[in-house]
Amino acid sequence: MTRGVLVGPGLVAGVMITRGLAYGGAIAAVFPTAQAYLISRSPTEDDRVKAVGALGAVQGLSAIVGAILGGSLAALGGLLLPISVMPFAVLASAIVLAIYFRPQDPTFLVEQPRSISYRNPNVLPYLITGFALFLSFASIQTVLGFAVQDRFGLDATATAAVSAILMLIMSVTMAITQAWGVRRLGWEANTLLRVGLPLAAVGYLLLVPHTWTTLVLSCLFVGVGVGMAMPGYTAGPTLYLDSDEQGSLAGLINANNGITYAIAPVLSTSLYGLHPDLPFVLTLTFMAVVSIFVHLHPRFRSGTPAESSLAAHH
């Protein structure tokens, strides 16, 4: 019986780890693949900015719907119910893919994809910018709930509700900016970065005062600023690479984003333990520095390739 007690949890842990690795690996492949596919079908800069903006908006919307659905299912059937439902959601996605998607036109396929380095001069400035952008955003997501509870003396239930509302405001604003605002503006990728990053910096500055008004305004500014900067960061480097390098670039960008979500929780909570305002000062500093960076670096000041050049690369 003792052995059964020991083996049971070990087996469950093994299954959970295997599931996590398999699910994480599969999900990690989806976004780069979708990005590379959309880029291959978008020969102009305007098309690419709109495509990656829509993709980012869908990703943000899925996070919102997933959080609401997961919480609702957990309330109805316990913590294991969302986990049990998830395989059926993935299966439904696979069925939709099989019904509505057709094999890609051979003229768009790349026979021998080329790898690009993180240090590629056409890519590195964007990766540095994106790293600061996502590290700041992930840090805020980590410590916002702590700040709400400590600043306003709320209990655990109220903290969870208020934090969820604030994150919902930020996420919805960001999704609307990516899906609608970016398309309406029609700006170049570098322009979106030069405008979006300072707006995000204003949002992080508004997190420093301890008032409800500045907190809500911060969520709106961060949502708009990050929503503008993300498509610029994602689409920008694609304009300087050939079609056989786009897949490697998509992988680099998503790995760059993923690293920030591994660093941010440890960094932001450690700083919060030293002083509650330190994580917000850090994110503000990141955004201020990177805003200056995109205004001064030649890659962002020299414009982007002409559409004829993009078509030739395409």
- Residue-range domain boundaries for the chain: 7-60+119-303
In 3D space, the residue among 214, 196, 198, 195 whose CA is nearest the CA of residue 206 turns out to be 214
H helix runs in the chain, sequence order:
2-40, 45-77, 80-100, 124-152, 156-176, 182-185, 189-205, 212-235, 246-274, 278-296, 298-301, 307-313
For the domain with range 7-60+119-303, which CATH number is right: 1.10.3720.10, 3.30.70.920, 1.10.1200.10, 1.20.1250.20?
A: 1.20.1250.20
In 3D space, the residue among 141, 214, 219 whose CA is nearest the CA of residue 177 turns out to be 219
Per-residue pLDDT, 17: 72
Per-residue pLDDT, 306: 46
Burial class (CB in 10 A: 0-12, 13-18, 19+), 172: middle
Per-residue pLDDT, 128: 97
Q: What pTM did the predictor assign? A: 0.83
**pLDDT tens, residue order, the chain (314 aa):** 444 444 456 666 676 677 666 666 667 777 787 888 888 788 888 888 988 888 888 877 777 677 677 767 777 777 778 878 888 888 888 898 888 877 666 655 666 778 889 899 999 999 999 999 999 999 999 999 999 999 999 998 888 888 888 988 998 999 999 989 998 998 999 999 999 999 999 999 999 999 999 999 999 999 999 999 999 999 999 999 888 888 889 889 989 998 999 999 999 999 999 999 999 999 999 999 999 999 999 999 755 554 434 544 44
Query: Measured between alpha carbons, how far is 28 from 260 in angstroms, rounded to an integer?
Result: 14
Per-residue pLDDT, 87: 81
